Amino acid sequence: MAVKKTLVLCALACSGVEGLEFGEMGDTSFGMGGAGVALENSAWGLYYNPALLDIDARSKLGYSFGVGVREKNILPLASNALQVFNQSDTIAQSLQGLMSSSTLQTLADGGSISINANQGPNERTIVNAGNALKDFLNLNGLHVDSQNGIVVQIHPKMKKIKGGIGTFGIGVFASLFAGASAVVDPRHNKLIFPFTIDGNNVYTRAQINANSISFQQSTQSAYLNSSLLSSNANNAARVQALAIGSVPIGYAKGFDLKKAGRISVGVTFRYLYTLSYGLGISGNVDQVITKAQNLFSNFSFSMQDMVRQSHFGLDLGGAYRIKGFTLGLVGKYLNAPKIRYAHLPDMRIDPQVRLGLGYRWKWLNLAMDFDLTSNKMLMLDKRSQMIGGGVMFNWKWFALKLGAMGNVAQAGLHQGVILTGGIRLFRVLDFSVQSGLQTVALGGSAASGILGSLADMKLPNYLAFRVGGGWEW
C-alpha cells in the first residue's frame, strides 16, 4: 500500500514538466490557423521550417509581438464562488432545511435528498457552483504566453555560382510561458464526505448533474478508497514560468529539379538563455490546503529561486515545391535541451515534429499544419497536438488572413475550435487575433452581484493578439 501510494504521488508530482508546445511566431501564420511549415509567403521560415529560407529565396524582414491567454474551468469556478459569496446569507437559509436532523436521518436510513436548480435562485447558484467544481476537478488549466521576435532572411546574389549559395537567416526571439494547473488523484475523485448523527459516522456521496445535486448514503470503504477527501488521496498543483531568449541562425540550400520542382533542406542552430521559476504542492486535500496556506503566508520571492541557464537548440527541416504546392516537414529541438527548476523536477523540451502543406498562386495563399508529436505543455498532465490552417488573400498593399485551428490531443485542454484572422496594411503593418468559440460567463450565475454590471459578460476561454509587419525584396 505504501509503495502504491508513493508511485501515484510521484506520477502526479513529476508529470507534465517534460516539454513545450511548438508555439507561434509572426503574424502571417498566426492569422492562418498557426500554419507555417509549408508557407512560402512569410518571413518566419527561420522559426517554422528553416528549409523555407531557400524555397522562397527573397530577402525578408519581419517583426512580431504578441500575447495570449487560455484557461479551462478556472474562471467559471472563481465566478461561481463569487456568486455564492454574494448570496451567502440567503443560501445559508436555504441550506438550513437540507441540513436539519430529520433530513440527515433520512440519509442515515439509506434515503436520498436533492437540490433542484428549478426551486429558486439560491438553488440555481448552488447547482451551478457544484457543476463548476465538478468541471474543475475533471480538467483545469491556465496558460499565459508572449512570443516576440525580429527576423532577417538574406539571399546573396551570386551569379557566378550556379544555383546560388543558399539563403541565410538570423533572428532575436524573446518568449515567456507561464502555466498553472491542478490534478486530482484519478483513484480518489468522488465527492464522498462523512458527517456525524447521534454519535455515529455516516458517509454521503454527492452526485452532481446539470440541474440538480443529489446526496445518497455511501460507505467508509468507498470514502477511503475513492473520495477526494480521503487521507489516501494524492493530488498535485503547480505554478511555473519559463522565459526564453534566443538567437537563431539558419541556413538553407535549395536544388532546382526543373520540371520535377524544387527541393530544399535547412538547419537552424539557436542559442538559448532561459530563466525558470516554479512552485508545486502535493498530497491529500488537508495537506494541500495546509501547504498552500503556508506557501502564501510565508511567500517571498528570491532571485536565487530563478534558475538561469544557457542552452542550444537544433532544428532540421525539408521542403518540396512543385507547381505552386509545397510540402514541408520540420523537427525542432532535436537535441532535447534540459531546463532546471529550483523547486520542481527538471524540464526537458522534447523534440517537436510538424508536417505542413501549402499552396501559392499570385495573390492566393493556402496553408495547413499538423503536429506529428503530442507535445507536453507547461501545465500538469496537459498535451498539445495542433492542427490548423487558413487562407491569405495577399494584394500589393493589403492582405486578409482567415483560418481555424484546434488541439486534438486527448490530454489537451479541450477548448474546441479556435478561429484566427488578421489584416496586413501597406506591407509593413499587421494585426492578427485568435479566439476560441467556447465562452465563459465572467459574473457567475446571476446578472447582478459582486461583479456588478460585468456579470453578464462572456469571454472566450482562448484569446490571443499579435501585431507586427515586415518587408520582402
pLDDT of residue 297: 83
Report pLDDT for 9: 37
Q: How far apart are CA 58 and CA 91, in angstroms?
A: 67
Question: What pLDDT, on the 0 to 100 scale, is given for residue 101?
Answer: 67
Percentage of residues in the chain having pLDDT higher than 90: 62
pLDDT of residue 472: 84
Q: What is the pLDDT of residue 449?
A: 46
Judge whether residue 53 has pLDDT over 50: yes
Least confident of 85-89, 245-249, 351-355: 85-89
Cell of 431: 494585426
Angstrom distances, CA of residue 254 to CA of 39, 261, 366, 438: 16, 11, 22, 43
**pLDDT of 427:** 79
Residue whose C-alpha cell is 430529520: 102
Q: What is the DSSP letter of 103?
A: H
Predicted local distance difference test score (pLDDT) of residue 1: 40
Alpha-carbon span 69 to 74, nearest angstrom: 12
Q: What is the pLDDT of residue 350?
A: 92
Of 78-87, 210-219, 232-241, give the lowest mean pLDDT range.
78-87
Question: What digits encode the pLDDT tens for the residues 105-148?
Answer: 777 777 788 889 898 888 888 999 999 999 999 999 999 999 99
CB 321 within 8 A of CB 361: no
Instruction: Count how many Cα atoms sit within 13 Å of the Cα of residue 130 in the half-sphere of its side chain.
Output: 22
Nearest-5° Cα angle at 190, 186 to 195: 140
Cell numbers found for residue 21: 508546445
> What's the average model confidence in pLDDT over 40-57?
93
Name the more confident of 90 and 368.
368
What pLDDT does residue 25 have?
92
User: Where is average pLDDT lowest: 29-43, 158-172, 309-323?
Assistant: 158-172
Across the range 164-191, mean pLDDT stands at 93
What confidence category does residue 331 fall into, taking pLDDT thresholds of 50, 70 and 90? very high
325: three-class secondary structure by DSSP = strand
Q: Is the pLDDT of residue 198 over 80?
A: no
Q: What is the pLDDT of residue 454?
A: 58
Q: Which three cell numbers stand for residue 472?
A: 520582402
If one compares 396 and 450, the residue with the highest pLDDT of the two is 396
Q: Is the pLDDT of residue 386 over 90?
A: yes
What's the angle, vertex CA 119, arms to CA 114 and CA 120, rounded to 5?
125
* C-alpha to C-alpha distance for 24 and 45, rounded to whole angstroms: 12
Asked if residue 156 has pLDDT above 80, the reply is yes
Q: Which cell numbers hold the place of 177?
A: 510561458
Strand residues in 188-259 grouped as ranges (E): 192-197, 200-208, 212-218, 235-256
What is the per-residue burial (b if ≥16 Cβ within 10 Å, else e) of 4-41?
Answer: eeeebbeebbbbbbbbbbbbbbbbbbbbbbbbbbbbbb
How far apart, in whole angstroms, are the C-alpha atoms of residue 2 and residue 291?
A: 21
Across the range 49-55, mean pLDDT stands at 95
Residue 452 has pLDDT above 80, yes or no: no
| Residue 182 phi, psi dihedral angles, 5° rounding | -135, 145
Mean local confidence (pLDDT), 67-72: 95
Task: Dump pLDDT digits (tens) for 263-301.
Answer: 999 999 999 999 999 999 999 999 988 888 888 888 777
Q: Of 25, 426, 86, 47, whose CA–CA distance to 247 is shortest?
A: 47
| pLDDT at residue 107, rounded to an integer | 73
When pLDDT is averaged across residues 5-11 and rounded to a whole number, the result is 37
Is residue 14 scored above 60 in pLDDT? no
The residues near 5 (Cβ < 8 Å, ≥ 6 apart) are 232, 234
Whether residue 19 has pLDDT greater than 80? no
Please check whether residue 423 is in contact with residue 399, taking contact to mean a CB–CB distance below 8 angstroms.
yes
pLDDT band at 5 (very low <50, low <70, confident <90, very high): very low
User: Which position has the higher pLDDT, 372 or 97?
Assistant: 372
Instruction: Decide if pLDDT at 8 tops 60.
Output: no
pLDDT at position 455 is: 58
Mean predicted confidence (pLDDT) in 248-277: 95
Which sign, positive or negative, has the C-alpha torsion 213, 215, 219, 220?
positive
- DSSP label at 416? -
Domain limits of the chain?
2-71+141-183+234-415
Give yes or no for a contact between 430 and 23, defined as CB atoms under 8 angstroms apart: no
Residues in the chain: 473
Average pLDDT over the chain, rounded to an integer: 87
Give the DSSP H/E element, type plus range, for residue 127: helix 121-138
Torsional class of 374: left (φ above 0), alpha (ψ -120 to 50), beta (otherwise) = beta
Of the ranges 15-29, 208-222, 375-389, which one carries the lowest mean pLDDT score?
A: 15-29
